[in-house]
Structure 1
Amino acid sequence: MFGSLSEEVEVKVAVDEAWQVYGTMKFADIAAEVILERLDVIEGDGGVGTIIKVTFKPGSEISYYKEKFTIIDNEKRVKEAEIIEGGYLDIGFTLYRVRIEVKDNTNDNTRSSCLVKITIEYELKEEAAANASLVTIEPYVVLMKFANEHLLSSN
């Protein structure tokens, strides 16, 4: 079974400025400050191939997972990460990927805003199909709110 969810928000900063947060470890650092118990870099420097361990606060449905940055395209402003251990993989998922895209806002002629889109793609075994209901974009929407506040306050 395959599925996807996405959310797009406008950010009141230039596209390159937004990419400096969303395309780097800064987005993960904001997550660590806001909703995580801890975040550890297991391997890498924030580029493609970097592996991080995301540990959630007690009481979360998932205790931890490790994800690997599989794509960081600075020209297209696209970043992808896939869970490689723990988390959703422990409950029947065979793929859990998050894509972040930072795009020009074609409705803004001043180029003082951009669009950030987050997409979750997942696959899971048929016998675990009921677990698809556990996939939610909401934590990323919350993170986007904090990242956007960070961008606006640093302007």
Structure 2
Amino acid sequence: MKTHGKISSEMEVEVPASQAWDLYGTLKLIDVVVPDLFKEIKILEGDGGEGTILDLIFNPGAPFASYEERIHKVDDENMVKEIDVSKGGFLDLGFTLFRICWEVIEKTPSSCITRVSITFDVKEDSVANLSYVSILPFIGMMKATTNYLLKNQTK
């Protein structure tokens, strides 16, 4: 048996959806979030498209020193990007799936909604590790990204 779950959060951003997706849908996101949330992110394989593998090295105090992610899906038309933890981190804690989904949804021509969702499966004998699942770091990433987008908005 496994326990399944999903949590999400969203934020309205006063920039066109295409500008937000230009950040969320590419590896440019790394440059925005590294200073605040990560010590370093290494690109092990790929160019940001499906199959790209990243090694995330966390700042001290995080629940993990590092883990690897694989970009599972990049859908430019629907502005959806799915990333799976592929080695270490949550997988070492009994999770069989830990997927982060970034979405950009057009609201008006000059604004959009950014949404992050975490979907996970954890083995029954590891349910106690659900306490490590938190949307807060991803909300921090959205805030950093929103600030960046607003400061660097192209008209």
Query: TM-score, length-normalised on structure 2?
Result: 0.95
Shift of 1:37: 1.0
One of 43, 61, 78 as aligned partner of 1:59: 61
Query: Which residue of structure 1 lines up, in the alignment, with residue 151 of structure 2?
Result: 153
Count residues with an aligned counterpart: 151
One of 65, 76, 88 as aligned partner of 2:90: 88
Provide Cα deviations, 1:85-126, integer angstroms capped at 9, x if missing partner. 010001111100000110111xx4xx2100111000000100
User: Alignment RMSD, CA only?
Assistant: 0.8
Letter in 2 for 1:54: L
Runs of 4+ off more than 3 Å:
none
Shift of 1:59: 2.1
Letter in 2 for 1:86: G
Residue segments in structure 1 that go unaligned for 5+ positions in a row: none
Q: Within 2, Cα distance between the matches of 1:84 and 1:29?
A: 22
Q: Within 1, Cα distance between the matches of 2:80 and 2:48?
A: 14
Residue segments in structure 2 that go unaligned for 5+ positions in a row: none
Secondary structure of the 1:124 match is: strand
Secondary structure of the 2:90 match is: helix
Q: Within 2, Cα distance between the matches of 1:29 and 1:14?
A: 20
Match status 1:3 vs 2:5 = yes
Letter in 1 for 2:147: E
Secondary structure of the 1:118 match is: strand
Percent sequence identity is 38
Q: Within 2, Cα distance between the matches of 1:60 and 1:46?
A: 25
Query: Which residue of structure 1 lines up, in the alignment, with residue 20 of structure 2?
Result: 18
Secondary structure of the 1:102 match is: strand
Provide Cα deviations, 1:52-111, integer angstroms capped at 9, x if missing partner. 000101221111110000100000000000001010001111100000110111xx4xx2
